[in-house]
Amino acid sequence: MFLVAVVVLVAVDGPGRRRWSGRRRGPGRRRWSWSPSMVWSPSWSWSPSMVWSPSMVCSLSMRKQWRRSDGGCGELVYMIYKAVTHGLTPLINLHIRWRKFRGLEHPLRWPERLGRPSISRPPGPLIWFHAVSLGEGMCVVPVIKRCVERRSDVTVLMTTTTTSAFEVLKTLLPCGVIYQFAPVDTPAAVNAFLGYWKPYALVLVESELWPNLVLGASANGVMLALLNARMSTKSFNNWSRPVVRLLTSLMLSKFSLIVPLSNIQAIQLQLLQAPPFVINFSGDLKLGIGELVNKTKNMRNMEDLQGKVAGRCVWMASSIHRGEEEVMLHVHRGLMQKHPNILAIIDLQKEGVNVALRSHGDSLTSETSIYVVDTLGELREFYGLTPIAVIGGQHVGHFSHMAMAMQQLNPLSVTQVGGGMELEEILDKLVSNPEILEARRVAAKQAFHALSSGVVENAWTLLQLHIFRKARAEGGNQQTPSEKNSSQGMNPGLHEPSWYKSLVIKSYT
């Protein structure tokens, strides 16, 4: 595992805990209030028995009343959504063709986006994993490998929506996994896809909640799971709107397993009326990516790059966004005055003096000052070339709880800075003092291992308990020995996240 000293740019302090409250209006409906303290408290040691308790959330009778009222309204909202998307199907199909001409869809396999398969379905049970793009797809690859290794009787189907994810993931997936592009969320495309592949389970990653996909799969008897469930504040507010919330509640009620990233995400899902008894924790799957071997052509010269950067001071800027590249370049110019031999690796294309672009095949020479990694799927490997990683300040949300967890485990693992001057000072200190740099690298590695240990195994065990075993029980089959050993050998409540009050920025180590 790489040793990387993590530096984060611009910490954003949140307002602390908030209490959400709401009121159901209308005759016969109960008033209610909800606060995070009713679900989890940081002083508790989490266990599966704490996930669902009538006194912690609400009474079962109240939930039944809410489901009867909201369920009917949610069905009505879905019927409207389904009718609208059905009417827009010709325009959506034309849009997919237009994207193909613009090079945004695969030139040959674009019909898969309309639910048309490009390969024959093998016989036997099939489980479907879906991720929207590259980052989500990479975090679920280790879980897919577990499925291929331990359930040889099951065919695995993997789908994404972007061509960039296709180009990278096709080299990472195990042999035998079927890769297709996901259908657009129209009734015709979804029904055609489900009718052909006939999966018995659908595993979604992060925030892929599409009404036709979720409710169409449920209507066809497909079991649903949501791994690494998360949503930004903006998405939560959108899903919480009066009418949309009814549709959200209906979709979440169809899941047999929801694995959120943190307590905050779990609370948000329960505020959207996700069933509390299906919520479990495994840890962040992006911490469990491990040593995925990238077999793309561009990765073949990584050892050559390691030799070229040997003996040079190297730092890396990743996940930077518009406006932040100027800060990074200004900081690098300041560091060059003190350390002429320093090299910056940046994962955002930017013109400048002595800049080498990886996508153009530019060589990294002793005179190269900035090496731009403008390719996909290689960022993790480049962390192995540099002892220092700077993560852009706008890259918040998904990594906020990870950074706080690392700091709680070891304060030296993550350093927060508030601007360019402070960043330059910290980098100069790390580059000039090998002992301090080594201490921070060790701290980052220890914190990373503490958080990532067992994450993939936990997620696989939860799938075994809530999807595979339940599917066999409904089908009248008995558990396999591997399922019994897995279900008896691990507590699915491991790696309980902490409560976090502020948003920070975090990087991979």
| Structural domain spans, the chain | 5-12+294-452
Please say whether the beta carbons of 335 and 322 come within 8 A: no
Task: Output the pLDDT for position 402.
Answer: 75
Task: Output the pLDDT for position 373.
Answer: 83
User: Residue 495: CB partners within 8 Å, gap ≥ 6?
Assistant: 281, 282, 283, 451, 454, 455, 458
Task: Output the pLDDT for position 364.
Answer: 82
Strands 126-130 and 5-9: unpaired
Task: Output the pLDDT for position 399.
Answer: 62
- 26: exposed, middle or buried (Cβ count in 10 Å: 0-12, 13-18, 19+): exposed
Q: For the chain, which residues score pLDDT lower than 70?
A: 1-71, 290-301, 348-354, 393-400, 471-509
Task: Output the pLDDT for position 308.
Answer: 82
Please say whether the beta carbons of 205 and 113 come within 8 A: no
What residues form DSSP beta bridges with 388?
Answer: 5
What's the topology of domain 5-12+294-452?
Rossmann fold (3.40.50)
Could you say which of 136, 325, 378, 457 is catalytic? 136
Task: Output the pLDDT for position 57.
Answer: 40
Task: Output the pLDDT for position 15.
Answer: 41
Task: Output the pLDDT for position 54.
Answer: 35
Q: What type of residue is 226?
A: L
> Helix 60-87 vs helix 242-252: angle between axes, to the nearest 10 degrees?
110
Task: Output the pLDDT for position 299.
Answer: 55
Give the pair of three-digit tokens for residue 390: 């700077």
Reply yes or no on whether 136 is catalytic: yes
Q: What type of residue is 463?
A: L
Say which residue the tokens 């960022």 belong to.
379
Task: Output the pLDDT for position 135.
Answer: 85
Task: Output the pLDDT for position 83.
Answer: 97
